[in-house]
Amino acid sequence: MKVNYANFIISAVRPEQFPEDGLPEIGLAGRSNVGKSSLINRMINRKNLARTSSTPGKTQHLNYYRINEDLYFVDFPGYGYAKVSKTQRQVWGKMIEQYLMNREQLRLLLLIIDLRHPPSKDDELMYDWLKHYDLPVCVVATKADKIPRSRWQKHLKIIKDALVLRAGDELIMFSSEVGTGKEELWNVITKHMKD
Ligand code: GTP
Ligand code: MG
């Protein structure tokens, strides 16, 4: 995919705010601070279009980024961040759940996981939930630059086994820092855009 331009469109809190042009949407879910927004920036070659931060809980709504006239990335608030109030977490949970269950334009969910660690309970729950609703998932194991290349395969296997990765779901190694996996991930995304 050649990214000619990318724009932030809206930070949506209600379905009425979602874009209405029918372009395919690629959602990004994952633990708070795992690197979802950084991944978007790397995919579109922009330093900080998607707001990133070392403080977890930065992304608070469904943030829509349009790439060319081709697709949207939909950046979700991260889960599993203890300092977010329970009420707030329930509000997000409801919004995300509604989006995942009802959004026809959604073509693929990127489940972002930290390659360095085994998936958390929340990661496992999220994956099972997505599979229960039959959504196509690509697991992206990011921050690969933080561990030596010789250990990559071992870590990938741990993730694959812990999630019980279903046939047809891809697992990609990624680094927003150095760009590992970028082309491979674009290939997966463009394949699903036609579905
Ligand atoms: P929330 O919006 O809070 O859910 O976080 P997020 O998942 O969007 O994470 P974000 O992209 O803001 O990144 C969190 C921190 O991890 C930042 O300090 C990033 O610089 C760092 N980071 C993200 N991806 C990578 C990566 O591939 N390699 C390295 N070394 N650091 C990364
Ligand atoms: Mg974010």
Looking at residues 2-24, what average pLDDT do you find? 93
User: Residue 166's closest CA among 130, 191, 142?
Assistant: 130
Q: Which ligand is nearest to the CA of 56?
A: 1
Look at residue 191 in the predicted model and tell me its pLDDT.
Answer: 96
More confident residue, 93 or 84: 93
HSE, CB side, 13 Å, CA atoms: give it for residue 122. 15
CATH topology (fold) of 6-193? Rossmann fold (3.40.50)
- Specify the pLDDT at position 9: 95
Domain boundaries, the chain: 6-193
Residue 32 pLDDT? 87
pTM above 0.80, yes or no: yes
What is the pLDDT at residue 47? 84
The tokens describing 109, both together, are 């969910």
Q: What CA–CA distance (Å, rounded) separates 58 from 37?
A: 9
Residue 48 has pLDDT above 90, yes or no: no
Q: Which ligand is nearest to the CA of 77?
A: 1
Distance 54 CA to ligand 1 centre (A): 7
As a whole number of angstroms, the distance between CA 50 and CA 52 comes to: 6
Q: Ligand 1 pocket: which residues have CB below 6 Å?
A: 30, 32-38, 52-54, 56-59, 78, 142-143, 145-146, 175-177
* Cα–ligand 2 centroid distance for 51 (angstroms): 6
Give the residue with greater pLDDT, 160 vs 60. 160
Cα distance between residue 191 and residue 116, in whole Å: 28
**8 A C-beta contact, residue 144 and residue 115:** yes
Query: Does the structure show a pLDDT above 80 at 193?
Result: yes
Q: What residue owns the CA closest to ligand 1's atom 13?
A: 35
The tens digit of pLDDT for each residue in 165-187 reads 999 999 999 999 999 999 999 99
* CA 63 – CA 69 distance, rounded (Å): 17
pLDDT tops 80 at residue 55: no
What is the number of the ligand 1 atom nearest to the C-alpha of 55? 3
| Span from the CA of 154 to the centroid of ligand 2 (angstroms) | 27
> Which residue has a Cα nearest atom 14 of ligand 1?
33
Strand order in the sheet with 62-67: 6-12, 62-67, 71-75, 25-30, 106-114, 137-142, 170-173
Percentages (nearest 5) of helix, strand, coil residues in the chain = 35, 25, 40
pLDDT tens profile 102-159? 999 999 999 999 999 999 999 999 999 999 989 999 999 999 999 999 999 999 999 9
Name the residue of 33, 58, 73, 115 whose CB sits within 8 Å of the most ligand 1 atoms, as the mutation to test its pocket: 33
